[in-house]
A and B are shown apart, each in its own frame.
Chain A
Amino acid sequence: MDVAFLLRILPPLLEGLEITAAMTALALVGAALGGLVVVAGRRSRIAAVRAVTIAFVDVMRNTPIMAQIFILYFGVPEIGLYPDAFSCGVIALVLQNSAYAGEIYRAGIESVHRTQTEAALSLGMMPRTALFDIVLPQAVRRVLPVLGNQAVVILKDSSIASTISVAELTHSGKLLLDRSAAPYETFLMVALLYLLMAAIVLGAMKLLALRFPVRT
């Protein structure tokens, strides 16, 4: 193990880390919002919307992100659109994780007891107000830890974008592994950087959970 070498490979890896962080942040926001669309779709009054949403969740749950990234990056150009690799990665991450986030939200909403809605309605609240002011605040607090885990999944899955040559952390690591004869150092450094980012994401979620505790 060569410590000087570890420091020397840090700058190129940090360049990759920036892209990983950008992808993760974009995908996180996209999936958090996409999850809302999914959960709204599943609760829709229109049967067709419900069916489409269920089918979407089903397909996303049962196909790997690798296949989605390849369809976007290699398949979509055949119909005349040319999304760049970075966008393909982000879109695939958002699609897949919207489905999961939607299911997480739904579980949260269902975990809030029915009597809460009934109580709100009996006080004369509109159903919408009951959902947004009574049910959702409780649901979101309950699912925060699960959402944190999903955020780490997004961070880790962003590494798959390296297979379509997005210059993110795993890709920079692979280039270094190809070029240098120091696989342990490079591997260790990449793994450490991911761990650090995962720790930051989980830590942020812990802080959020402390700020918004579950009240019983």
Chain B
Amino acid sequence: MKPLTVIGFLGSTLDASKFGPSRWNKWRPTVGLAMHDDLRVDRLILLHGKAHDRLAAYVTEDVRAVSPETSVDLRRLDFKDPWDFEEVYGTLLDFARGQAFDPEAEDYLIHITTGTHVMQICLFLLTEARDLPGRLLQTQPSRGEIRPAGSYSIIDLDLSRYDSIATRFAAASAESASFLKSGIETRNGAFNRMIDEIERVALRSRAPVLLMGPTGAGKSQLARRIHELKRLKHQVAGSFIEVNCATLKGDNAMSALFGHRKGAFTGAVSDRPGLLRAADRGMLFLDEIGELGLDEQAMILRAIEDKRFLPVGSDREAASDFQLIAGTNRDLGEAVSAGAFREDLYARLNLWTFRLPGLAARREDIEPNLDYELDRFAEREGDRVSFNKEARQRYLAFATAPDASWPGNFRDLAASITRMATLAPRGRIDTETVDVEIARLRRLWSGQARADEAGAGDLLSEFLTADALAAIDRFDRVQLADVIRVCRASRTLSDAGRTLFNASRTRRSTANDADRLRKYLARFGLEWRAVAG
């Protein structure tokens, strides 16, 4: 006979009673489950909060009286908010992972009658996911008679007749899957599919992950959420270390990443462990990895492959076991062909590559992010700010319009909402605040556009004489500059043609992209060989 262990919460209401003999005339689920003739509980793991220490001790004494066969194992589990899904689920998952369950040697019943509804749902989910390897135990009072034991039923979720419940609860488990999105209910289908895939990869793989996307698309925040998710699931124990490689220049880059020995160079007055060692058993996020020097790239590659590296000025290797997440807004493939990025490191990074779209490509997610930013503002400032209806509509109409370019992506949106929330009179964003903000954004973005146009001029001057350039309309300059950029990044004329005519080529019966591109360049007296350089 396998010993039986029951795991459940102390019911702060249901298990409570008057401290006197009348308690034996009341159904108390936790005591009752130890009173059945045909259910022998060898061990009861009773979870309870600090506030209920006294009740827990009292219930324990009564369980022992009615069931000397049962050893009661009291476990303190405190929740800041026992109705908070994420907190309860995470804490219970930690608890479950921390138990040395042995289903071969012991049977487990998960008592779901006590605790808040959220606790009950989480126990269900963990049982359904086999994090708690048992069957569900449900207890209820006896109808029409006073029986302190009540009655019980055991539900084995592995039986197919419970499939319909499992399906219904899949919706609830999706809630925990939205973790990576910080709980923002994003509506963009492509983005949501990508997040689902990242979640699967994050939980099943320790290989490096590459996040591509423009500045402000949320690479850094996503990397941090991946780390938190893995920590919650006990897959990493160490810290999240984040560094922007664009800030690492010269000697300092090596020493910041790999550490140095005291006296390794002037100014090295003490040992420095370096970022890689700080990320041991955790996660290292190297943002803008394309900015890293070639020497550092070689060292990083070795550190990923062998988990070892040489600190500056040291003759002994240091070890660090970290998972790498890299971020970039550059096309690393292009950088490899230009010789600015190591091909072998790129090959390592390119296993799990995810492209985070910019905000302009996810206009349907602007509204949920707007609410998220308002929540964050409230959390940060302790001040809840809201839009009035008209102001909200006006801002969203502007923000989601095709001409809103959002060059700084979610970072721009966050800054914009913070400005409005700060300036909002009496905690209410009105149309006036919105109008001022829209004007400000237009001004900022036109400055950006002028910079783009100026950038185009710089590029074109490499190929065209000043006279020729002066003869080209501003309208055409920007377009031509972009065409040249694509050509430089492409291997062949046909490749460039395919990239440039990506939409219209699907509608044509014959694909003559190369010819179209050649004719376009010829209009400006340019040839493929010259621009591909």
- Whether both chains belong to one complex is answered with no
Residues of A within 8 A of B (CB): none
